[in-house]
Structure formats: C-alpha cells, structure tokens
Structure 1
Amino acid sequence: MKGPLFFFLSLILLSGLTGTSSLQGQESTIKTLDFYVSSHLLGSDSASYLAINIENTEGWHTYWENPGDAGTPLEFTFATEQNESIELEAMPWPAPIRYLQDGEMWGYGYAKSYSFFFKIGPSVLEKIKNKAIVVKGTWLACNGICVPGQKDLLLYFDSNGQITNSQPTSLAILAEEIIIERFNALPTIAELPLAIDIALAVDSSRDSGMLLYYTLTGVDESAIFKERNLLTPFPHPPFTFKHESLYKDGRGNIYGKLALDWDGEYMDPEIPLPADGNFPTAYKLKFLFTNPISQKIEIVEKEFNSFEQNADERINSLFAVLEEIKTNASTSTNSATSDAEIEAASGNKENSIDDSSLPTTTPSSLGWYLLLAFLGGLILNVMPCVLPVISLKLFSLLKNSQEDRGVILKHNLFYTLGIVASFLALATILAFLKESTEGVGWGFQLQSPLFVIFMIEILFIFSLNLFGLFEFQTPGGAVLGGAKLPTGALGDFANGVFATILATPCSAPVLGSALAFAFASSTATLFFVFLTIGLGLAFPFIVTGIFPAMIKLLPRPGMWMEHLKKFLALSLLLTIVWLMDVLFTQVESILVFALLNLLLTFTFFAFYLRRHMSKKIIWQLLFFAIPLTLLAFLSYSAISPAQQEDVAWIPWSEEKMEEFKKEHRPVFIDFTAKWCFTCKVNEKLVLESKAFDELVAKYHLALLLGDWTKSDPLIGNWLKAHNKAGVPAYFIQKSSGELISLDETISIGEIEKLLEE
C-alpha cells in the first residue's frame, strides 16, 4: 500500500537529487532524456497543437499517468516569461507498456522516442501571439537506479500560434509524417463495450483490500496482447491499483481480476469505506482498455455506485475452476534490456494491441506484411478445416489432367477468382464494420450459430455426393442429356468461395501478424493484405494452370480415385464434427442438437429415397420438405434466447407475469446477459445448482428469463421503472402478486426465505 511513509521518502529522494536542475535545461549528472517542442496543424479540424518530442537515453524509461507500484509520471507545465500560468488542453497520453521492475514491482511507462500533444485553443492563442512562453518538463527516469530530471525551454510564437524560434536542440527533428502518425496513434475515447462486464468487491483477505473482477466474452486467448494489461486503470484516489491477473475458460471467455487498496483512511479528511457497500457519491473509474476485438487501445469508463461485501467465496470458487493465462514480463529495469524490446509503447507505432508486430506503415514494412500474408495464405492449403475443399479441387484437377491446357487454365482461374472475390468481399465487410466501430476479427462469421448450422448442412450434402448418393447436375438436366458438370466454371468459382469461408477460422500461425496489421491499418492496406492472402491460397492452382505439365507429376487416374472420394467424404464428416464443437460453445441447448441430428438424418434419407425409390417431383418435394422444415425450426431455435437446460425457463414478458399472478403461482425472474460477469457467477454457483432445482420443485416455482444480451427496450424500460440500472436483476413475484427485488448477488437461502414469508 502506498502510504504517508512512501510519500515522505519519495519527497526526500526527489529533493536530494534535483538540485542541479536550472532554467538553462541542465539536469543531474546522468543524462536520462532530452526533448524539444514543435507546433503543428493536426486532426480533422486542422487545429493548432504543440508536440513535446522526447528521446530517452538508451536503456532508460519514464512513467505513465499511473506509474504502477512506484515511480512519478512525466509532467509538463506552460507559463509566460512573467510566470503567468497557461493552461493547454492535454491530449490522451501515448499508450504505455508494462515493466517488470526489481522483484515483483510493476510499472507503466515509455522508452526511446515518443511524443505528447497539447491543443492550443482560441483563448490560449490570444495569450501567446507574438510572445514567448516557458515549457517546463519534470520526470523520473529509471534504469536499475532512478534519477529525477528537469528541463525548461523558451519558445517564441508568431501571430498564428506557430513557433518561430526556440532554444537549439541536439535531437534530430522528426518528420511531419511521424508527428501525424504519433498523433493518430493516441488512445481514443470509447464506450465500454457490452462484451466486457466489470464488478467491484471487497477482498477480506487483505486490510483495506478490494478487487475489480471482469469478463470479456467471445475472445480467444490468442487475441490478448500478453505484454499489456487488458485493463490499465488511471489514477483515482482513494483507490490504489495493484496487479492484473487474466484467466480463461474453455468457451472463448477471458476473465480478469485486479487487486486494489482503499486508501481513504490516509486522506484528509478521512474517507472511510462505506459499511453498507454503497458509496455516498459514485466513483467513475477510467481505464486504458487494450481491446482485442477492435485491435485498438481505448479509454473507457465505468461508474461504481456500490461494491459487493461478501463475495470472496463466490469469486474464489469461480476463479478456482479457470485456467490462468501466463503473461509476459515486458521489460525489466535491468540495463541489459534493449530499446528494441520496449520500443512498442514509445508512440511511434500504430494504436493497436500487437505493438511488437505492427511497426510504422512504411513501404518496406507493408511489403514485409504482404509477404507474411502470402505465405499465410499458402499454408492455409494444408490446414485441417480447408483441406477437404482443397482435396476436392485436387481430385478434380487429377480427373481433368488429360484435358487441353486452356481448359485446365480456365478451371484454375475460375477457382482463383472465387477465392479472390471472397477475400475482397470479406475485406469490404470488415472495412465497413471497422469504420462503424464494430469489433470484428478473423473468422467472425463463425461466431454466428446460424451460419455454422448452414455450413454443417452444406458439408453433409457434399459428403453424400462424394459417397455416391447423388451427382450434381447441370441446370438443363434432361434437356442437356443429363450431362454431369461437377467441375464447370460455376462449380470452380463456388469451390473457391467455399475454401475461403472454411479458411477464415483456420489461420496459420504466420498469418496472425499480417491480419492484426491489416485490422489496425488503413482501409487500402486491409484490402491489399486480404487480396494477398487470397492469392497465396490460390497460388498452387495458379501455377498448375500456367504450367499444366506439373499435373503429370501426380498419379494417373484409376480406381484409387474412387477410394480417394470416400476418404474425402470422411474428411468432410470430420470437419462437421469440428463445426459441431464450435456450435456447442455457442448454443447450450439439447433441443438444438436434437434438431440438428434429425436434420442430418432426414437429409440423408431424402437423397437416399430420391435415388432408390422415386424420382417423381411430388415425392421429391415431400422427401425434401422434411429437412427444410427442420432447418427452419433449427434456425429459430439457434437464435432464440438461451435458457437453462435443467429447469424450464420461459422468456420473460409482463403478460407472463400477470398470467402466473392470476394462477397464484410464485415466480422467480432472472434478467441476464451473456456479457454479464456477475450473471455468469450467479448462474454457475446458484441457478445451475441442484439445490436450485430442488427449490423450484418444492415451491412449484415458475421461471422467467429476460435476456438482455442484445438491447431490448421492453426489458430496459421495465428495469428502469423498478429502479434497476442494468443486469443482473432478480425478482420474486409471490403467489399473492407482491413483487420483491433481490440484490445483485443471490443465494438459495435468501430465495427460500422470501418464498416462505
């Protein structure tokens, strides 16, 4: 805990080491950094800004607004020569990185080269026109030892607020493009995404201890940048923030907890921690959110009106069943650490998560990532999820190896066109969603249960074709003599589209950096990267189209090809198993999987009966009507609100409440959301327990579920009318019709006690 003793010792240290500073810009005998100031017109409104451009001496680092366990933030002040203070609007600070300092001390700060920006407003512009101002910088720099420093610069401004003269500097003057890039890379202010839920609780294991715990849904561990915090809090007395730990479950959710101390007892006047768990005035905490979904670093806020008091056991029980994510020690204060290792947070990178892999978008770096994109696309040809489709194309290639060179080239070019068109379509969608601030990632379409279900059905139909249960026909059918066209131009194009769809979730490791680079860069770069991935995926077929003699290196057609068809059919079935596992993580419903099994069964019988029983139109319509009906029911079930499996939850409505009231039947109402952390805790420890099932049976309890995962104005307005700001929200409607509101944290004992009253 940072108490008065730490503060007192810090003052002694600073006062003993800063005596050599002066107006001429001299600091202590150890030179830890230097800076100069430049003026620019930046942003969409071309406003005037001052840029303070800093260059740390190699190996030394400075501190962010929240320095961590120890340290002092950088500070810059502005005044006239007559010492009249000038207030400039500070832009968000560049995103820092996390340092592992001596022992287990964490710090947040900067190394090497970075820039701070201050906006010159109209009132300030009037003050500095044709005048001089003094810029004073103070800092604490560390490299095994910590040394404070100070420098003052005298600047002269013209009538437009631009610097005309300043003290000379030994630093290299940065190009305007670099200044603009650093400005655009500053963290942006954003709304707290619905995908993340944050709660505050007392940690009774520590004196004055508290705990922030949170969950982020629908994010894979690989998207987390492990040398940054997921949430880095800004300073906010009387809270003192400690270290973050991240965890994961097996269903694409990330969990975090961040220890903090309540230091109100050290403030003057003293602020005691409220005994009832309700703050007299709400605390709005601000965080630097390393968003793995949008691939950006954002500034978000969360307001806390209260905190949980007896949640230790519940929280510990939850985190005990989760797997901890091992984070990396970004940097130590050891002088052996190179600046290249910590340059990521210095402000000369794109505002994205993967600092180490996203350098400045120069022509050379773009070429490097396009090469990675091409190699990644090439490797996708042998990835498990896309291999079945590639194998089908290879099979078609072997079958047509004796054809004319022009025919082979045509087949392969249409296949390539299908891939390239699909990747460009994906890039268009991603660019649109990116501009709309939607969080999207590679493979985002497989986040839709409906899409996965359709993919399972299509793959199953393809496998039946390979097993010989039916053949694809031309649209002309009997008119064209029943000519089979399994590898026509349209079929080749469709194969390319299909390969792209299956490739999206199966990225090769080398593809990750290129995709992250694309998502964080301009729209033009995004299209270039996706086009290059498509060309990499299609490259083997482009080569065999141009040089068909290479096909001769493959075995000659024969009976082995019929056996290969069966093997490829089996590979499609294995892909279906994989997609079912994806679906299982999205939809926890026995009904959905029962309907899916029936759909596949009746799809098989529809094709079987068509081949072996009757080819009359009326019978075919009847045969295929059953799986089509099942597919419609399945689609509805997959997108309807999730319900508990062990007990009969009914979608909430005021009409249902009134109906049970007339029946004099008690009702338990659960307003929840998939992104709500506290909801998940209560579900796992209470609502999904055997004791709750017994309680439902004992009191013949009706269960209503209000799913607020997607904003529903009916639920929102009802909660607001009953003094609830959000979820979780729990109510009991007694058999008499009396409505009782429960706390955010619930227990079996509390529910039963209310039912008995």
Structure 2
Amino acid sequence: MRFLSGLSALIALAGLVATAPASAQSSWSSGEAIIEADLVSDRSIVAPGDSFHIGLHQIMPEGWHTYWRNPGDNGLPVEIDWDLPSGVEIGEIVWPVPIELPLTDTIMDYGYKGELVLPMPVTVASDFAGEAIEFRANATWLVCDTICVPEDRELTLTLPVGPEAEPDETGYWYIRGALENEPRADPAVAAEFAFEGGRVILELSGGAFANTDAISDLRFFPYQTGLIRNAGAQSVATGEGSTLVLLEPGYAVATAANSAQGGVITWQGADGQTRQSVAIEAQPGEGGYDLPAVAGASVPQVMSGGILGLVLLAFGGGLILNLMPCVFPVLSIKVLKFVQAAHADPGAVRRQGAFFLAGVLISFVGLAGMLVILREVGLPVGWGFQLQMPIVVASLALLLFAIGLNLLGAFEVGTRLMGLGAGLADKPGWKGAFFTGVLAVVVAAPCVGPLAAGALGLALTQPAPVVLLVAAAMGLGLAAPFVVLSLSPGLLRFLPKPGAWMVTFRQFLAFPMFASVVWLAWVLSIQSGPTGLLLLGAAMLALSFAVWAHGQNGRAWSVVALVGLALGVASVVMIARLPATTSTQSLSAREEAWSRARVAELQGMGQAVFVDVTAAWCVTCQINKLTVLGSTPVEAAFDRFGVASLRADWTNRDETIAALISEHDQAGVPLYLLYPASGGAPRVLPTVLTTGGFVDALEWAADN
C-alpha cells in the first residue's frame, strides 16, 4: 500500500525524461523491465520439516539503484506479497547492509546498486504431503537513476519435495553471500542514545567500540524514518571507554526520546580494507555529555518563557479564526441565540457562553490529543488531518446541508428525526451552545491562520502537555468574544432587540452553509472521484426527502422519513469504502507535481523553485490561490524571474508531504517554500500572502 500511495508523486518524475540518458530511456520508455529479477533458493529439493532460504535476486543496470528498508529521504523499499501452499511459511526480508546514495548536499537515500539478493527464511511443515512447492510472489520496487520508475513483477519458483533435502549449488552461494552481508547484533556491544546540544548522540560501548582509534569512516543507518537528518554530518568522538556518534536530528526525533531505536552501524576496520557492520538497538540514555551545541541543527525546545509565547500566539490565532469564512457562518447562528436570550434572560446568556466554551475546549484538546497519539505511534501528522478522510468530509457536508435546511425553516429543531446533526448545533439552551462550539472547531480545523500556524507547528514537536496546552489556548481565543459578551451584562444592551429582521437574517445564513457544502463536495470529488460525489448527492437527496416526508401527517410518513434518513447515512458510509483517487488538483500550465528529486534537479540547474504545499480542504490555501498566486502580477513575476512552481497536494494522506511539513516546524497547510537558485535550504513564506511581498520573494530567490 505504501508503494501505491506514493505512486502519483513518483510518476511526476517523468518530466525528467527529456534530460535522462538515452540508454536509460530506451530500457523503460518502451515498456521493457529495467531490473532483471528472479527467485533463487539454497535448495534444489526440499523435504518435509525442512528450513531453508529463498531470495529475490535483482541485477540493476549501471547507475540505477533500489532502496533499503528505510529508504532515506526518498524512495520506497521492496515489498513482496506471497501466494504459498498450506504448510509453507516464509519470514521477513533479511536486509543486507545498505550503502549511502546521496542525491544532493541535502538529500540522502539508502539502498543498493549492482547485484542484490534479499533472502527470506522458509519453513516447511513436517506433515507436508505435496510433491512440489510453488512459490508465487508479487514483488514491487522503485528503481532510480536520474529518473525513478516503479516496477511490479510476478515471479515464480517451483521446488520438488523429496524424502531428503538437497542444496542448489548456484542458489546456495547467492543466499550465503547475502546472509553474510546481514548486519548482526553483537552481545558485547551496548548502545544508548540521547538528544542534547542540538545533536542526536549515540553512545557505543564494548566490542569494537571500546577503542575509537581502530575505527574509521563510521556511519549510522537508522531503521526509523526521520530520526536523523540523513544528509547531515556524522562525526565520532571519544567517550570514557566508548565511542560517541554525533548526528544531526531529523523531524521525528522529538517523538523518539522515550523508546528504543534500532539501526545499523558500519565502519572501516583497522586494516583499512574490510567494511564491518553491527545491528544495534539503542536504549534511551540520560545524556549529560560535555559537547558543544550545533548551531541551527536543533529541534525547537520550549522552556517556560517560550511556552508563554506559544500560548499567546495560539490565543491570537484562535481570535482570528472567528473571522475565517469557514467559521463565521456557524458562529453567526450563536449570535442569533444570544440576541434572543440577552434581553429576556441575561443569566441564560452566561450559561450559554460557558457551555460554548466547553464545547470548543473539549473539541480542540480532543483533536490535539488524537494528533499526539498518532505522532507517538510514528505517523507524521498535521493539523486538519481528519479532513483527509473522505467520510469525514462527506459527513460534515451533510451536516452543514441539514443546518442550511433548518435555517430556511424546512424542519423544526427538536423533532425525533432531525434532533441529530443540525439539531444539536441549533438546539436552545446549553445543548445548542455546546454543540455549536464543537461544530465551530470541526469547520475551523482547515483554517490555520497566520499566528496559529507557527504556534501549532512548534507545539507538535514538543511533549504532549505542551501540545494540549497550545490547543486549549487556541480554543480560548476562538471562544473569547462570546465568553466576554456572555459574562459582561453591560455589553448586552448594545445587542439589537429581537424582531422580524432575525427571521430574514436566519434564512440568509443558510446560503453560507450551502456554499460550504459546495466547497466540501469539491474536496470530496478530488478525494473519491465522481462516485464519491454521486454518493454525497444521493445522501443529500435522501435527507431532503426525509425532511419533506416528516412534515407530512401520519405514522406511515414518519416511517418513510426514517427510511430516507437511513438511506442518506448508508450513502455516506459507502463513501468510506471507495478507493482513494489521486489527490493532485488540476495543475496550471506552469506547475509540476512536487518531489524532492525534482526540487534538487531544478536547483542543480540554477533555477529557483517555489513549492506550494496545499490541500483542497484548506480554505486559506484557496484564498491565497485566488487572490495572490493566480493573479496576473504574480504569473508575470514567475516568468520574469524564471522561478519553477511545484505543488505538493496534501488533500489525501501522504506521508512524504507530512514529513516535509514537519521538517519545517509547521502544523499543516498552507506551507510555502521558496528555494534559492544557488541551492540550499528554502525560505518559509508567510501563511497569508500578499502580491507585493510574494513578487519581492520571487526576485530574492532568483538573485540568490
């Protein structure tokens, strides 16, 4: 599945074909396989109860490579799905020691070149009664040179079964060579790691690491993606009877501090000829090393004063959310309720304000808690991740559609049929206040404002209590205007008195709701294609029919209404079962799909690069696109300064894009990166763009 999820980004590399060597082009553009592949075994005949190895044998053309279990900054490892007879079991791939595959000064991959065998252990049941064993493998891999090409191969190998096992002379040496190149753990070697002074520090003691003088050219290959900066410097220092490996931290280092981290250490032996290796499982250490800090290499660490700054940024970001187009229509409903209650019962307004605050805080903290949980299990996540699930988008669209119908007077709140969904947010009293707060947070999630983006991005690199505190501060900012209004009786007299204008205003609010539904339907069409859009339309039709039927008299009509409501819910549930479509929105004439390799190549050609990390469900992204990125002055500036434009589309979940967002200390989208023409790290542009500022930034990138 990981292979398929990255396929759309990898296909974008086909734009490099024009610059690829002719010999490389000829082998794959005509449909021919690049890698020669087959299955080998160290047995020519197997016996019941036998244990042996089978291997995927690959021969790569010169200049091409495949990837290790942790591919580094790019790439995908080999994946194999087996079809085996009953009584035959096959284990995990035994990965030989990888080599470094530098792409640029800032991008490093791990993998293999030349000839490769990936062994896997096989066990045959003692009561196996077949005459032969047929191994059928569906193997997928990514092979790269100047370009990257995904390959998918069906491979088979049939081994006869006899009373006694017999070795296969050729396959035996293939398998043996690969197993001898497997990094193995050494019981004499102990490993600990810590993060301090801007470095990840591996302390290796015992075995070969008791004497640092006998070790040269040491390299660490981590199993976990994002633990270190793969292209960063790796240096060795001497501890007290141990070897210290100093590494630059990666985007996931903050989440790795409390768990063991595995990897492979390779080094040159004392003879200067033999490359040696050992597999390690480094336990979290206490640190305390007397080492200088590395400037610019640390993951942000928030001290007590910094937490206050984060909280204030998050609070300001929450205040700004009140003005976002995706949030304002929902909050306007609550304003109407305040107007209705203010002059008759100020105490009721205070209670509504308190419950509205509770709904906002519980939702914000709950959403942040989900992010923390996903982060702790090793998934790169970002704010607004829930809208990457089509069923959430469809459910929210149906809910806003129901609220719009209610605002137009199609049904009354509180009935058994519609007491769910729209009725929750529009109920009188504390229930309506609480669920309006919940709904406000749901629709506010994709609207990460300029202050909130920085606060959330930094918070997500910190321990869980900091993340939850920042989320609560943002919730306080969102709820603050209503809480202040509800707790200040003197301000209530400035609210207009109830009257006929409220009916008109209430009906008017239905249309921003329907506009939000149109936007969500567009998002869903990108995520799930035309079928998803059709099912959403069917759900809306069923809901409308249920509302109409419920307004008729008689029990029979009530049953019909319930059936209509059930059909609407079923249509939404069916959306969750649809396969994900390619999430890339339609690219403009000047845009390409983003990949790290494409950025590196363009910079290598002396061209500045703009990367638009966006999503269809991100309202701020769409506003920036309409008002700035798609404007005539900006289009002209791209041409004038020769800046390339790439789009990284995060509408559907994409781990590579999530990692890119996390690497730049951001919580979500939009994220705008501008890479200078001379190479090097990008400049992160503001979340909210202006035409003049953006044109100036393009000029800077072209001149640097």
Q: Same fold (TM over 0.5)?
A: no
TM-score by length of 2: 0.44
TM-score by length of 1: 0.41
